[in-house]
């Protein structure tokens, strides 16, 4: 093998395969001889069929015949005929031609050295863009150099490792280059990963240093004394005055490590894949030769840097003078943001995992991304329907399908997705530069065209192996029998593929998904491929389930293409025409989206059983929603199955009966992205939530000229009921502030007061976490139905809410709660009820804070705390800008300022007229409900309350660490219990919404509502991945 990793000619040394695959080979061929001898000098015995199976595709196999074995000349003649078989000779020539991928590249250079050359050529050109800020090539190189010099002083050098745990930012790219320049290998640690996983990777990689940011330091409370922890967000960095010149590391060679990326392990412990500079340089140079970036290009970096696609996103543009635009943290999950980022930054190149590509293409503005020159798809199989949709929406843009495992430096094959509406499968292409692809049968011999085999990868891109996993490295990285270099290795992928006649490769699935059903050996990938060929199928996954012991059966999960109208029996009939009966699944489950992992790949473990899917829609919705949330996808984009998308719903389909119902069906299908909605399908079981309800009611207002409050959805969650409300003759909305969320039960009701924006749909998720006999009511804002607010104060709001509550529950004990600003109202309600002699048994304050008593708005400028308040406000604005982008932050601030101006004007008018701030009446429509509420908050003067309360407090609390009681300690005279809950302010109820009834609150004694600890269980997620669903707009 030459320096490029290519063999001069295809030479198949079977013994080098059988040494490592021997036990399996012997098992398959039933030869009772040692593994190596079985292929080098085996004694086949008297079974010519065995000889034929060993030599059919193996012209250089050696057979040493012992006369005592009775091996006759006829059999020997049979062997000779097999060896000379023209088909085998043609197959070897076929492989040799396809694997003749030799191409020149700077094999003596490291990645950062190529960047340094480009930085010298493009010193003043823009290298990085992040949230509107820019860094030139010279600035990026200088900052990385200063940090690199500091790292070398810490002992970083060739093959040493440096961990990086940083959110997407300039600092992330600076850190990557600094580690490489110092001679080390970077180890990306995604801050979104569970803490235990991060700590395992940190301990396993044994880095010299950890580069992080101050707000992430809490992820690593205890670190090794030998490991330095550097905060890259500090303004006074100790490396700030180090040299700006390129470091020279004399011992560094292209054979040293560039990075170690951890992937999932079959045993549960992640494994670190070690990639060398030469492998990465070859990969990047091939990409440039294939696609040709220049200074006019801009690449969007959106892939989490713990995923190997990020490697080319970072380095490819910066090695060739293009701009690298960094998406904001978590921005890769939001199709709307991606559309905006692509258009604002004139992005020409972007990568999508196919499942996210499909979501992106369905965004209404995706077609506006005309700056895109090329889109790369990899990470999972690309469905034909996605390719067709891509060419429909972005006809001017190239689509490229890439394939490759982390163990072979990102990608090893590529195929340009040319427009072909008749294509039923998408190839993964041919090998890239200096890469060899072999498809071998279970005996380790090359397969013929069209035959299924396991894909092996040879060449310079093959990883060094797994860090600290010698046995696993030996198992997966084998000697390359096709190379004349005895040191050459190939990686065994576990992927099943086949050669197509034109030399491209078709991916069929994983060999570890091979199953046996009733004695039949079945490749699940083959069934999936056949299902995916149906023109109305977007995605298909087949698994073998054993939900009942001893009853293993095939279950197919199918996502239909937009506009498709298939039933499961249609799929069964179509598949039965392509595969044997034993390969036709016994159950079909229609999903709106496949559950995915944090990296956007299919999560098979989250697929529901057919029983769950058909019996209880919310079970399916919960399982799929959780997996979708891990990839950051909104339910608006991935409509979850349950009764909304499975066969049971379709079987019970009731069509619209009049023009009004037809209009409503069209609106629901548009908003939910679900087809064939019946008039008795439940909005929430179709994947709806408060944001979608708001959009839906806005569309009803536009098309039907009906102004409906959001609380209607609790009374009329189906189209037939909603239509009944709208068409009712003489219907006049008279809406109570009380919204029944869960009416049944004989316990005292729990009343939860709205937050600043007034609606109570965000409380919907709690209905799954309270006992079945616990009534739960939301208290929506005064004026929510009209969009106009009365000029009420907090005491007036409390009085009005108490009046309505007592109409439902005349006497105590009362159980009250309030979210955010609603905590002030609930507190005032408790005050008034106590003053009236009623018992308030429970007062819950959900992430609510209270300010200094009296005249807050007019006095804040004179308060001694004004400076601290200004700093808190500035910090909140900066965090919003970092999270949502400067344009979004500015728009929100402007809207807020306009509202404040109206509030201030109202206050001044009352001041001039001599009216008290709490009693004046504004002109109709002068203040919106949330503005009126904000005005009421700012003039509220809370008084001490003799009772007790419970504060549910998030880490994003307004007071953070300055006051653990969030101000309530000064007012609550009784016991104030503080319950810490995870997540952000807006996450409290959305984290509860989709976890499903199996996480219900338990422990109530049957006579009282849930306690503080029980509510805390409902609100506190078991893991970060539980965040999905509802939030209060």
Tens-place pLDDT, residues 200-221 = 899 999 999 999 998 898 888 7
Architecture of domain 734-867+925-992: 3-Layer(aba) Sandwich (3.40)
What is the tens place of the pLDDT at every residue in 828-838?
A: 999 999 988 88
Residue 133 in tokens? 């800020």
Lowest mean pLDDT among 291-300, 522-531, 826-835: 522-531
Q: First vs last Cα of the chain: how many Å apart?
A: 62
What is the tens place of the pLDDT at every residue in 854-867?
A: 444 334 433 444 45
Residue 911 CA to residue 634 CA, distance in Å, equals 46
pLDDT at 814 over 60: yes
> DSSP per residue over 210-232, as a string?
EEE-GGGGGG-SS--TTSEEEET
**Selected residue with higher pLDDT from 942 and 372:** 372
User: Is residue 357 within 8 Å of 393, Cβ to Cβ?
Assistant: no
Residue 497 CA to residue 506 CA, distance in Å, equals 5
How confident is residue 896, by pLDDT bands cut at 50, 70 and 90?
Answer: low
Architecture of domain 514-618: 2-Layer Sandwich (3.30)
User: Is residue 622 within 8 Å of 994, Cβ to Cβ?
Assistant: yes
Lowest mean pLDDT among 328-342, 726-740, 747-761, 988-1002: 988-1002
Which residues lie below 8 Å from residue 911, measured CB to CB, with a gap of 6+?
none
67-72: average pLDDT = 43
How confident is residue 807, by pLDDT bands cut at 50, 70 and 90?
Answer: confident
How confident is residue 582, by pLDDT bands cut at 50, 70 and 90?
Answer: low
pLDDT value of residue 130 = 96
Lowest mean pLDDT among 38-52, 411-425, 942-956: 38-52
pLDDT value of residue 912 = 47
CA dihedral for 861, 864, 870, 872, sign (positive or negative): negative
pLDDT at 968 over 50: yes
Closest Cα to residue 945, out of 835, 858, 798, 812?
Answer: 835
CA-to-CA separations, 122 to 138, 319, 407, 534, in angstroms, rounded: 8, 10, 33, 50
DSSP E strands in 327-389: the ranges are 349-352, 374-377
CA-to-CA separations, 469 to 183, 269, 271, 879, 947, in angstroms, rounded: 23, 11, 8, 41, 60
How confident is residue 691, by pLDDT bands cut at 50, 70 and 90?
Answer: low
pLDDT value of residue 733 = 42
Backbone angles phi, psi at 379, to 5 degrees: 105, -25
Residue 359 in tokens? 């979501």
pLDDT value of residue 298 = 98
pLDDT at 920 over 50: no
**Selected residue with higher pLDDT from 910 and 465:** 465
pLDDT at 83 over 70: no
**Selected residue with higher pLDDT from 478 and 990:** 478
pLDDT at 640 over 70: no
**Top mean-pLDDT range of 383-397, 574-588, 955-969:** 383-397
482-502: average pLDDT = 93
Closest Cα to residue 691, out of 755, 752, 759?
Answer: 759
Residue 1030 CA to residue 761 CA, distance in Å, equals 8
**Selected residue with higher pLDDT from 593 and 22:** 593
Q: What is the pTM of this model?
A: 0.54
Determine what percent of the chain is predicted with pLDDT higher than 90.
Answer: 36
**Selected residue with higher pLDDT from 152 and 669:** 152
Residue 368 CA to residue 366 CA, distance in Å, equals 5
661-732: CATH number: 1.10.1200.10
**Top mean-pLDDT range of 333-337, 482-486, 907-911:** 482-486
SS3 content of the chain, % helix, strand, coil (to 5): 40, 15, 45
Residue 296 in tokens? 């006019």
Domains 429-509 and 734-867+925-992 alike in fold:
no
Q: CA 383: distance to chain centroid?
A: 19
How confident is residue 146, by pLDDT bands cut at 50, 70 and 90?
Answer: very high
Closest Cα to residue 951, out of 758, 854, 820?
Answer: 820
Residue 927 CA to residue 929 CA, distance in Å, equals 6
The 3-state DSSP class for residue 465 equals strand
pLDDT value of residue 1020 = 47
Q: Give the HSE-up count for residue 621: Cα atoms under 13 Å, Cβ half-sphere.
A: 29
- Which of the 8 DSSP states describes residue 446? B
Residue with tokens 């940011």: 213
111-330: CATH number: 3.40.50.12780
Bridge partner list, 777: 740, 751
The 10 Å CB-count burial string (b at 16+, else e) for 13-25 is: bbbbbbbbbbeeb
User: Is residue 232 within 8 Å of 90, Cβ to Cβ?
Assistant: no
pLDDT at 843 over 70: yes
What is the tens place of the pLDDT at every residue in 518-527?
A: 545 577 887 8
How confident is residue 937, by pLDDT bands cut at 50, 70 and 90?
Answer: confident
Determine what percent of the chain is predicted with pLDDT higher than 70.
Answer: 68
Lowest mean pLDDT among 40-54, 336-350, 498-512, 747-761: 40-54
CA-to-CA separations, 825 to 439, 743, 808, 828, in angstroms, rounded: 69, 23, 19, 5
pLDDT value of residue 45 = 36
pLDDT at 848 over 50: yes
CA-to-CA separations, 604 to 110, 254, 682, 823, in angstroms, rounded: 39, 38, 27, 42
User: Is residue 317 within 8 Å of 118, Cβ to Cβ?
Assistant: no
pLDDT at 751 over 90: yes
Lowest mean pLDDT among 11-25, 187-201, 548-562, 949-963: 11-25
pLDDT value of residue 619 = 31
Residue 481 in tokens? 């029998």
Task: Give the β-pairing of 477-479 and 489-499.
Answer: antiparallel
User: Is residue 314 within 8 Å of 176, Cβ to Cβ?
Assistant: yes
Residue 47 CA to residue 99 CA, distance in Å, equals 35
Residue 716 CA to residue 731 CA, distance in Å, equals 15
pLDDT value of residue 490 = 98
Alpha helices in 853-939 (DSSP H): 856-859, 866-884, 886-913, 929-938
pLDDT value of residue 512 = 73
pLDDT value of residue 773 = 77
826-848: average pLDDT = 91
pLDDT value of residue 443 = 86
Q: 390-399, long-range: CB within 8 Å, 24+ apart, which pairs?
A: 390/357, 390/361, 390/417, 391/417, 391/419, 393/361, 393/366, 393/367, 394/361, 394/366, 394/367, 394/369, 396/370, 396/372, 397/369, 397/372, 397/373, 398/373, 398/374, 399/374, 399/375
pLDDT at 60 over 70: no
408-421: average pLDDT = 92
Lowest mean pLDDT among 354-368, 570-584, 731-745: 731-745
- Cα R_g (the chain), whole angstroms: 33
Residue 786 in tokens? 């009209």
**Selected residue with higher pLDDT from 516 and 298:** 298
**Selected residue with higher pLDDT from 549 and 283:** 283
Closest Cα to residue 442, out of 364, 511, 529?
Answer: 511
Residue 632 CA to residue 359 CA, distance in Å, equals 11
pLDDT at 594 over 80: yes
How confident is residue 739, by pLDDT bands cut at 50, 70 and 90?
Answer: confident
User: Is residue 447 within 8 Å of 439, Cβ to Cβ?
Assistant: yes
The 3-state DSSP class for residue 761 equals helix
14-38: average pLDDT = 36
Residue 982 in tokens? 């995870």
Residue 973 CA to residue 240 CA, distance in Å, equals 52
β-sheet with 949-953: strand ranges across: 738-742, 776-779, 750-753, 814-819, 840-846, 949-953, 976-980
Residue 641 CA to residue 649 CA, distance in Å, equals 9
pLDDT at 903 over 70: no
What is the tens place of the pLDDT at every residue in 364-398?
A: 889 999 999 999 999 888 989 899 999 999 999 99
pLDDT at 995 over 80: no
Choices 3.30.70.1450, 2.30.38.10, 3.40.50.720, 1.20.140.10: CATH for 429-509 = 2.30.38.10
Closest Cα to residue 102, out of 220, 188, 2, 11?
Answer: 2
pLDDT at 238 over 60: yes
Which residues lie below 8 Å from residue 920, measured CB to CB, with a gap of 6+?
791, 906, 909, 910, 913
Closest Cα to residue 299, out of 316, 280, 281, 319?
Answer: 316
Mean pLDDT of all residues in the chain? 76
pLDDT at 771 over 60: yes
- Other C-beta atoms within 10 Å of 738: how many? 19
User: Is residue 753 within 8 Å of 819, Cβ to Cβ?
Assistant: yes
pLDDT value of residue 21 = 47
Which residues lie below 8 Å from residue 894, measured CB to CB, with a gap of 6+?
none
Domain ranges of the chain: 111-330, 429-509, 514-618, 661-732, 734-867+925-992
């Amino acid at each position: 093998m030459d320096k490029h990793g290519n063999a001069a000619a295809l030479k198949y040394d079977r013994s080098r395969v059988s040494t490592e695959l021997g036990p399996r080979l012997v098992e398959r061929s039933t030869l009772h001889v040692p593994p190596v001898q079985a292929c080098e000098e085996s004694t086949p015995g008297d079974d010519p069929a065995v000889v034929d199976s060993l030599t059919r595709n193996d012209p250089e196999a050696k057979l040493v015949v012992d006369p005592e074995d009775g091996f006759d000349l006829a059999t020997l003649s049979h062997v000779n005929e097999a060896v000379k078989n023209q088909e085998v000779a043609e197959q070897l020539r076929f492989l040799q031609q396809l694997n003749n991928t030799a191409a020149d590249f700077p094999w003596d250079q490291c990645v950062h050295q190529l960047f340094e050359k480009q930085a010298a050529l493009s010193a003043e050109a823009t290298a990085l863009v992040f949230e509107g800020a820019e860094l030139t090539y010279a600035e990026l190189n200088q900052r990385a150099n200063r940090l690199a010099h500091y790292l070398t002083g810490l002992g970083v050098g060739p093959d040493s490792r440096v961990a990086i745990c940083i959110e997407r930012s300039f600092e992330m790219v600076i850190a990557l280059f600094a580690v490489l320049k110092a001679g080390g290998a970077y180890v990306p640690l995604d801050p979104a990963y569970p803490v235990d996983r991060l700590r395992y990777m940190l301990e396993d990689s044994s880095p010299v240093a950890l580069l992080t940011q101050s707000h992430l330091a809490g992820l690593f409370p205890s670190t090794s004394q030998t490991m330095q922890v550097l905060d890259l967000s500090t303004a006074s960095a100790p490396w700030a005055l180090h040299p700006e010149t390129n470091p020279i590391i004399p011992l560094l060679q292209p054979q040293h490590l560039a990075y170690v990326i951890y992937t999932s392990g079959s045993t549960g412990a992640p494994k670190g894949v070690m990639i060398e500079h030469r492998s990465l340089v070859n990969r990047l140079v091939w990409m440039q030769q294939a696609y040709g970036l220049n200074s006019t290009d801009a690449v969007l970096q959106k892939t989490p840097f713990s995923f190997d696609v990020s490697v080319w996103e970072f380095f490819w543009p910066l090695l060739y003078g293009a701009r690298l635009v960094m998406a904001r943290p978590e921005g890769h999950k939001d199709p709307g943001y991606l559309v905006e980022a692509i258009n604002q930054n004139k992005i020409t190149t972007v990568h999508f995992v196919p499942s996210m590509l499909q979501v992106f293409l369905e965004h209404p503005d995706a077609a506006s991304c005309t700056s895109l020159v090329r889109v790369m798809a990899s990470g999972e199989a690309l469905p034909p329907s996605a390719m067709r949709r891509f060419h429909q929406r972005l006809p001017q843009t190239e689509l490229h399908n890439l394939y490759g495992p982390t163990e072979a430096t990102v990608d090893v094959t590529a195929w340009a997705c040319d427009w072909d509406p008749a294509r039923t499968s998408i190839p993964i292409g041919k090998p890239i530069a200096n890469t060899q692809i072999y498809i071998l049968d279970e005996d380790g011999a090359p397969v013929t065209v069209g035959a299924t085999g396991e894909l092996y990868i040879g060449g310079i891109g093959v990883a060094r192996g797994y860090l600290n996993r010698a046995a696993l490295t030996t198992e997966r990285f084998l000697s390359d029998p096709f190379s004349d270099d005895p040191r050459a290795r190939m990686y065994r992928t576990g992927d099943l593929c086949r050669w197509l006649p034109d030399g491209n490769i078709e991916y069929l699935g994983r060999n570890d998904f091979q199953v046996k059903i009733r004695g039949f050996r079945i490749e699940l990938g083959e069934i999936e491929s056949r299902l995916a060929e149906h023109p109305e199928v977007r995605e298909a996954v087949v698994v073998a389930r054993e939900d009942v012991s001893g009853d293993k059966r095939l279950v197919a999960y199918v996502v239909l293409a937009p506009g498709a109208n298939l039933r499961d029996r249609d799929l069964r009939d179509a598949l039965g025409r392509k595969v044997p009966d034993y390969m036709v699944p016994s159950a079909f489950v229609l999903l709106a989206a496949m559950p995915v992992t944090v990296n956007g790949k299919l999560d098979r473990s989250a697929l529901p059983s057919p029983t769950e899917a058909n019996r209880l829609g919310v079970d399916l919705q919960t399982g799929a929603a959780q997996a979708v949330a891990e990839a950051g996808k909104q339910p608006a984009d991935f409509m979850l199955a349950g009764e909304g998308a499975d066969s049971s719903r379709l079987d019970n389909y009731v069509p619209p009966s009049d023009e009004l119902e037809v209009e409503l069906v069209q609106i629901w299908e548009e908003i939910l992205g679900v087809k064939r909605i019946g008039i008795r399908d439940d909005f929430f079981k179709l994947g709806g939530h408060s944001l979608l309800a708001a959009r839906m009611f806005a569309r009803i207002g536009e098309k039907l000229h009906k102004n409906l409050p959001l609380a209607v959805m609790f009374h009329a969650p189906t189209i037939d009921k909603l239509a009944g409300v709208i068409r009712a003759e003489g219907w006049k909305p008279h809406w109570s502030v009380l919204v029944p969320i869960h009416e049944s039960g004989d316990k005292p009701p729990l009343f939860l007061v709205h937050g600043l924006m007034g609606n109570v749909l965000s409380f919907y998720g709690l209905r799954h976490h309270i006992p079945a006999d616990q009534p739960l009511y939301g208290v929506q804002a005064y004026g929510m139905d009209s969009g106009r607010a009365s000029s009420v104060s907090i005491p007036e709001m409390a009085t009005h809410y108490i009046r309505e509550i007592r109409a439902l529950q005349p006497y105590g004990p009362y159980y009250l709660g309030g979210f955010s600003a609603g905590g002030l109202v609930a507190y005032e309600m408790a005050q008034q009820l106590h003053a009236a002699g009623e018992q308030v048994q429970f007062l819950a304050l959900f992430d609510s804070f209270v300010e200094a008593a009296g005249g807050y708005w007019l006095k804040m400028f004179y308060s001694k705390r004004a400076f601290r308040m200004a700093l808190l406000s500035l910090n909140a604005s900066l965090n919003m800008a970092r999270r949502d982008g400067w344009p979004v932050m500015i728009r929100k601030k402007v809207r807020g300022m306009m509202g404040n101006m109206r509030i201030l004007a109202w206050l001044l008018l009352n001041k001039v007229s001599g009216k008290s701030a709490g009693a004046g009446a504004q002109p109709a429509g002068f203040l919106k409900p949330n503005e009126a509420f904000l005005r009421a908050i700012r003039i509220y003067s809370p008084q001490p309350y003799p009772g007790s309360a419970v504060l549910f407090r998030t880490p994003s609390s307004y007071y953070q660490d300055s006051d653990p009681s969030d101000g309530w300690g000064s007012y609550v005279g009784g016991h104030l219990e503080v319950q810490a809950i995870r997540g952000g302010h807006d996450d409290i109820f959305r984290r509860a919404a989709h976890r499903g009834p199996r996480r219900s609150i338990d422990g109530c004694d049957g006579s009282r509502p849930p306690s503080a600890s029980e509510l805390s269980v409902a609100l506190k997620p078991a893991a970060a991945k539980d965040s999905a669903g509802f939030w209060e707009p």
